[in-house]
A and B are shown apart, each in its own frame.
Chain A
Amino acid sequence: MNSQGSDRKGTLLLLVMSNLLFCQNVHPLPICHNGNCQMTLQELFDRVIMLSHYVYMMSADMFIEFEKRYAQDHEFIAKAINDCPTSSLATPEDKEEAQQVPPEVLLNLILSLVHSWNGPLFQLVTEVDGIHEASDAIISRAKEIGEQNKRLLEGIEKILSQAYPEAKGNEIYSVWSQFPSLQGIDEESRDLALYNKIRCLRRDSHKVDNYLKLLRCRIVHNNNC
């Protein structure tokens, strides 16, 4: 009986191990132990970059939609350009800089950037809803971006925990200089603030997308893309 039991255990263990091995190499599906699902880094990056590109695309479309209303109002546009609150984050400003920053630092920066947009995105949805002239395209996109941003955050956290687990927790919690509150202000000011916000969103989502693509080439392909 004992031998039988041990035989069974042995075969079971063998099965499990072979499953793990095969699954790891052949199938990109995550293998979950105790609620932690493991995916290959490449797969993780692919999914996260898909998300970030999607968010960037949505932001650009939203910006174009919003700008259509004020395309002829040059004065408005000129007044609307303001500083972005996320400018305080010292993100690399060109490709060479981005390639020189250590990956984990860059990942943390990205994480901070994405994280800092969670709140303003939530605000944006309510603000855009309030504008009765705002088209459904803007409102729907705002909601979509809000949703995807959270997933993006999770993805980046996963990458960080999987690739650089020791660097987790070094996130720079930026001092989020709030976007001006849109409560109780006149319509024009509200529109100006919104315009600036959407412009900043487009800019930041573009940053995140580009940084992640660079990182993928660096980490997953070892710069042999």
Chain B
Amino acid sequence: MLKVSALLCVCAAAWCSQTLAAAAVVAAAGGRSDGGNFLDEKQWLTTISQYDKEVGQWNKFRDEVEDDYFRTWSPGKPFDHVTPVTLGRASPILQRIIPDLGTRSPGQPQFTKCRSPELETFSCYWTVGNYQDLKTPGSVQVFYARRIAHEWTQEWKECPDYVTAGENSCYFNSSYTSIWIPYCIKLTTHGDLLDQKCFTVDEIVQPDPPIGLNWTLLNISLTGIHGDIQVRWQPPPSADIRKGWIALEYEVQFKEVNETKWKVTGPLWSTSVPLYSLRLEKEYEVRVRSRQRNLEKYSDFSDVLYITFPQMNAVTCEEDFRFPWFLIIIFGIFGVAVMLFVVIFSKQQRIKMLILPPVPVPKIKGIDPDLLKEGKLEEVNTILGVHDNYKPDLYNDDSWVEFIELDIDDADEKSEGSDTDRLLSDAHEKSLNILGAKDDDSGRTSCYDPDILDTDFHTSDMCNGTSEFAQPQQLKEEADLLCLDQKNLKNSSYGASLGSLHPCVTLTAEDKPQPLLSDETESTHQPASTPISNPASLANIDFYAQVSDITPAGSVVLSPGQKIKAGIAQCNSQPQPEVAAPCQENHSMNSAYFCESDAKKCIAVAPHSEVTSCVKPSFNQEDIYITTESLTTTARMETAELAPDAEMPVPDYTTVHTVQSPRGLILNATALRLPDKKKFLSSCGYVSTDQLNKIMQ
């Protein structure tokens, strides 16, 4: 009895609970159907928003790394928040399934993803969570509803395809897919709502991965270490890119095989990309993924492409090109050795001179050093007498001044009979010969070593010439070192010294009156004698200039002439008859030496000679030898300058460059500072021809 009654009670209770549960379910369902009138738009949307809020499951659709494009449908209030109250009274079964709809825990059955790969179809996936009994087919249903043209479909339709997309999926083919239409799907089991989701298809696009990855080698670096490749792929075949229905962009990732971090390139719109500077001995792997442009959801990665380069021969590495220093050093040493041998053993004096220029030995020609040692002064002195370079430094300008003797009368005598005549005589050949003679030491200063080259010979000629003329206008005996020495040595009178000076004077006399070059100057030579005699008082004084210095080359530097000023004063006072004459006449007559260019200049600027000639006669009278300054001053005279710089020290003599004709000498002009044409270094009294040309021009 008791057993039966107990059994009856249990059965009744079970039945009651079942009915109650059924009623609850019906009530809940009925409540849902009453509340969820799909025709009522506002309520539908409210329902959705409520549902969205409290269901935390939308987070599931969010990618861990990227933003969720389902953010639109972020969790709102769950639709079922009404139902828990109901379900609280519902069967424990339901409570077990949906214990607390406030949150969606991972173990709950819910939609995991909805995805459209090509904007033409879509599919939704769910998980049953911990409730394995829901895995049996048919236990779970998916319903969907979509809103077309302001109207919601009246009922929920069941998923058309549970199979195509795999397990726990619902696939909507193109006929069921409308792109820009809101959809809502729900997951139910036997009418019980498990999950619900709303979206539009254009928001859930996630393309398929690209296919057909391959690579080609673009080029290899010269070193053979690095190379460039081009990676190509095909867009996913499902995407209709050709017609433009969907536009994709790609992201390429690559890395070395044993690395952990991928290098990312993208997003790209093209289906190929170059990868530069990959090391050829290493292996790489590449993968590509795609996404629709302007969306954020990337596809899965494509299959990984492994890149292995064909083994290159390591010998091709050319980067060890070293500059051939070794070869260069060897050749350099060889060349130097050859040169040395040539130099040392060559008989050619010229080459020897070039490579090993002779160091001037302190040597006096003709003097045996032994004489000096032995102290035979007389012999030494006699020998020294023939050399003019013995006492170059003994006298400075000041000392010269001491020796100034104005001996006008004597000058007249001598000018008439002796020096001047001889100077103006036609003993050209003799002087020429003397000048031409190279090795004749007699009566001639040899201020050069016979070994010196021809250029030096010319220098020595100049030296000779100037040294011969190195007689101060009043200090002839001092100016001429040769003669002076003789005088000092012999204490001779002026006349005696003059006599002894004959060699020099002869030379000077012979050399001076020879005009340079031109035949015209020769022609004017004869009448030049007369003007010379006129200012006889000054002639002798002007005939010589004092030596101020001896250049290392052996040529004599003359002190500035002081007669120019007087001559210029003369010019202003006395118009010389020679004014009308061309300047070259004056030059040629009174000055034995003038530069070729000056001569040319004089010839060329004959019309200007009136101005110039004013100064020139005086100049010529005073200074037999044209100095560089005087030349330039004459040049400057052409520009209507009548008063040259009185302060300027003007060398009176120029060295003889060459002997051109029996009556011509070309004077050298030393280097001058071209910008300062009027001023010359007092120590440098020689102007080279070219520079003088420039000065004159």
Closest to B76 in A: A78
Point out residues on A near B: beta carbons under 8 Å.
49, 53, 56-57, 60-61, 64, 67, 71, 74-75, 77-79, 81-83, 87-88, 90-91, 93-96, 199, 203, 206-207, 210, 213-214, 216-217, 225
Choose among B48, B50, B148, B240 the residue that contacts A95 (Cβ–Cβ < 8 A). B240
CA distance A94 to B240 in the complex (A): 13
Q: Which residues of A contact B75 (CB under 8 A)?
A: 74
Which of A71, A203, A210 makes the CB contact (< 8 A) with B200? A203
Q: Do residues A93 and B45 form an inter-chain contact, with CB atoms below 8 A?
A: no
Collect the chain B residues with CB atoms within 8 Å of residue A88's CB: 149-150
B180 touches A225 (CB 8 A): no
Among B45, B149, B243, contact of A87 (Cβ-Cβ < 8 Å): B149
Q: Would you give the 0/1 interface string for B167-199, flagging 1 where the beta carbon is closer than 8 Å to chain A?
A: 000000010011111100000000000000000
- Complex CA–CA separation, A75 to B51 (angstroms): 10
Tell me the bound Cα distance from A74 to B182 in angstroms: 18
Q: How many chain B residues have a CB neighbour from A under 8 Å?
A: 40
CA distance A74 to B104 in the complex (A): 15
CA distance A60 to B49 in the complex (A): 23
A210 close to B242 (CB less than 8 A):
no
Q: Other than the known A78-B49, A93-B181, what 5 A-B pairs have Cβ atoms closer than 8 Å?
A: A60-B295, A81-B45, A83-B41, A94-B174, A203-B202
Pick the residue among B73, B179, B242, B243 that contacts A93 (CB under 8 A).
Answer: B179
| Option from A57, A96, A225 in Cβ contact (under 8 Å) with B244 | A225
B245 contacts A93, C-beta separation under 8 Å? no
Asked if B113 is an interface residue, CB under 8 A from chain A, the answer is no
In the assembly, what is the distance between CA of A83 and CA of B182, in Å? 9
Q: Min CB distance, A217 to chain B, in Å? A: 5
User: Chain A's nearest CB lies how many Å from the CB of B66?
Assistant: 12
- State in angstroms the CA–CA spacing of A132 and B573 once bound together: 103
How many contacts between A and B, using CB within 8 angstroms?
Answer: 94
Residues 8-44 of B, flagged 1 when their CB comes within 8 A of A and 0 if not, give 0000000000000000000000000000000001000
Q: Which residues of B lie under 8 Å from residue A91 when comparing CB positions?
A: 180
Q: With contacts A67-B71, A78-B48 known, is A203 near B180, CB below 8 A?
A: yes
Q: Mark B131-164, 1 if CB is under 8 A from A, else 0.
A: 0000000000000000011100000000000000
Contact A94–B244 (Cβ < 8 Å): no
Select from chain A the residue with minimum beta-carbon distance to B177.
Answer: A94
Given contacts A88-B149, A88-B150, A81 and B180 within 8 Å (CB-CB): no
For residue A77, which residues in chain B have a CB less than 8 angstroms away from its CB? 52, 71-74, 76
| Given A60-B295, A88-B150, A95-B240, A78 and B53 contact (CB-CB distance below 8 Å) | yes
How far is it, in angstroms, between the C-alpha of A58 and the C-alpha of B68 when the chains are bound? 19
- Bound Cα distance A216, B182 (Å): 28
Flag if A74 contacts B174 (CB, 8 Å): no
Is B120 interfacial (CB 8 A cutoff)? yes
10 contacts between A and B (CB under 8 A): A53-B247, A56-B294, A77-B73, A81-B49, A82-B45, A90-B149, A95-B240, A203-B180, A207-B180, A217-B242
The A contact surface, by secondary structure, is helix
Complex Cα gap A216–B180 (Å) = 21
- Interface presence of B293 (CB below 8 A): yes
Give CA–CA (A83, B150) in the complex, Å: 8
> Do A94 and B178 touch across chains, with their CB atoms under 8 A apart?
yes
Complex formed: what's the CA distance from A217 to B243 in Å? 6
Q: In the complex, are the beta carbons of B150 and A217 less than 8 A apart?
A: no
Using CB atoms, name the residue of chain B closest to A59. Answer: B294
Can you list the 6 inter-chain pairs with the closest CB atoms, starting with the nearest? A213-B244, A78-B76, A74-B74, A60-B294, A93-B178, A78-B49
Give every chain A residue within 8 A of B202 (Cβ-Cβ). 203, 206
Give the chain A neighbours of B120 by CB distance below 8 A. 94-95
B150–A213 CB distance below 8 A: no
Bound-complex Cα distance A53 to B294 (A): 10
Q: How far is the CA of A77 from the CA of B177 in the complex (A)?
A: 24
B267 to chain A, nearest CB (A): 12
A64: chain B residues at CB < 8 Å are: 67, 296
A217 to B246, CA, bound (A): 13
Query: Which residues of chain A are within 8 angstroms of B200 by Cβ–Cβ distance?
Result: 203
Question: With A78-B48, A88-B150 known to touch, is A57 a contact of B41 (CB < 8 Å)?
Answer: no
Known: A75-B53, A206-B180. A96 touches B71 (CB 8 A): no
Q: Which residues of B contact A79 (CB under 8 A)?
A: 49, 76
Is B71 a contact of A225 with CB atoms below 8 Å?
Answer: no
Q: Residues of A contacting B180 with CB < 8 Å?
A: 91, 93, 203, 206-207
Q: Is the CB of A95 within 8 A of B49?
A: no
Complex alpha-carbon distance, A206 and B180, angstroms? 9
Judging by beta carbons under 8 Å apart, are B150 and A87 in contact?
A: yes
